[in-house]
Structure 1
Amino acid sequence: MVSALDQLYQQVIMDHAAEKHGSSPVTPSDTSSYQVNPTCGDEVTLAVTLEGDTLADLAWQGQGCSISQASLSMMNDLVAGKSLAEVEQLWNDFDQMMHSRGLELPDEVLDSLEDAASLQGTYKFPNRVKCALLGWMALRESIAKTQARQEHE
């Protein structure tokens, strides 16, 4: 039997997978990141715009399962307009949740992740953890590439 909370989490995931917050055309460049999950074929191309140490904007285009698409949408809502230090903390919180293996997480971690906390049960399906992390991997790589390019300009 599925609990009311599990049903709510499933609905949040399906809503984000359908709405895809932040999804828009991305022109691949030397600062964008293309990531693919060879296990299931999920893929994303993601690009960021940095203004100083702030993630001013991000755009992503992807396809795949509802977990990967919802995670990208939720990530977009979490990180847009945040400082790079805040983005790094959100990454750490999300990564901790994805690898929690059912261990209880502090409320402040789950609260910081907002809708993304609905992906907490993904740890039960190791192949799906990769789906949930795909966009975060692209985000981290695109930030690193963009910073490296800015240092050489």
Structure 2
Amino acid sequence: MQKPIHEARAILEAEALAHMQRDGLDPNRQIFERGRYYRATAQRYIQQHFSDFVYYWLRGMVFFWRSAAGPNTGGAWIESATAVKLWFQVYHFAWMTALLLGLWFTWRSRQHRWWAILFVSIALYFTVSAGCSGNARFRLQTFAFSLPVIAVGLGIRRDSRQV
């Protein structure tokens, strides 16, 4: 069974820092080297545990769209505030419903189909690039592009009802 992503990252970071120390570098001083060592350690892990990497990546992509709050990032206040949690869930449900309806109606209109293609392309890019983290804050970029899709799609639906 796979570990939670923060535990997997902690192991990789500790391994990269230990590798730096074996090479005679101070991890607290050579900050720019830390990234290089961490990337090398992560790439080695990916090659050795490819199925775990795919699991974490797909899990992150699901978390990306799963909820308004995303995966648990350690915020104790949000876990204890039921009203805040409920508000995020209602908001997320309303936004996703409007987005899916907007995409559906926009896609059905040949004249406005490019809005749907643009949104899906951008959403796919940010979903894939969010990768293992799956943090919902990366969804902010897709939110801006979802607004025209929602407006155009629901506008098309309203216009078709008036005819």
Using structure 2 for the length normalisation, give the TM-score.
0.29
Bigger proportion of residues as helix: 2
Structure whose alpha-carbon radius of gyration is higher: 2
Q: Which has the higher contact order (CA 8 A, sep 6+)?
A: 1
